Amino acid sequence: METAEALARRRRWLVLAAAMGFLIWQGSLALRGVLEAKMLLAIGLIGAGTFFASLVQSVRLGRSAQGRKARRVLNDELAQRNRLVALATGFWAMLVVSAIIFAAAELFRLNAGAAAHVILTTGVVTALVRFALLEGLLEPDV
């Protein structure tokens, strides 16, 4: 049976992989017209694949019967608090980017779809990265 510690370590990296996947996926959509369509499709598929595969894997962590206790430990109250803090950080990041885009729209003509992409991507990626960091991504393994 995998220990809760090992599962937590795997989850941190899966969440980071999901963030990077989402960034690549949305980045490929934002680069339409800049890069060749086939290349963008390939990049987008890699990004989306990484995002969804990482998300599914992180949800399935410790799903086996023996892993039930480890899963409870994995979702203890510190993890729940970290999740809330990460969501709040993502929300604030979206607000800040929205304000910047709002101000920039006074100076430049901006595409609403592109603006929505940037806002959404910022919120999702910031929340995921923040959660991985709060869960000790940069801390040495004990």
Partner 1 sequence: MSRLRNRLREYRARTRLTQAELGEAAEVSRRTINNVENGIFVPSTELALRLAQVLGATVEELFFLEPPDRAEID
Amino acid residing at 25: W
Residue with tokens 């993502």: 90
Residue 4 and residue 70 in contact, taking contact as beta carbons nearer than 8 Å: yes
Interface with partner 1, residue 1, by CB under 8 A: no
Quote the crossing angle between the two packed helices 77-104 and 112-134, to the nearest 10°. Answer: 150
Interface with partner 1, residue 104, by CB under 8 A: no
Interface with partner 1, residue 142, by CB under 8 A: yes
Alpha-carbon dihedral sign for residues 55, 59, 60, 62: positive
Interface with partner 1, residue 79, by CB under 8 A: yes
Among 72, 88, 99, 114, which residue sits at the site for partner 1 (rule: CB under 8 A)?
72
Interface with partner 1, residue 84, by CB under 8 A: no
- The residue (of 36 and 77) whose beta carbon lies closer to partner 1 is 77
Interface with partner 1, residue 76, by CB under 8 A: yes
- Hey, which residues between 42 and 71 contact partner 1 (CB under 8 A)? 69
Question: Rounded to an integer, what distance in angstroms lies between the CA atom of residue 38 and that of residue 132?
Answer: 32
Give the interface size with partner 1 as a residue count (CB under 8 A).
15
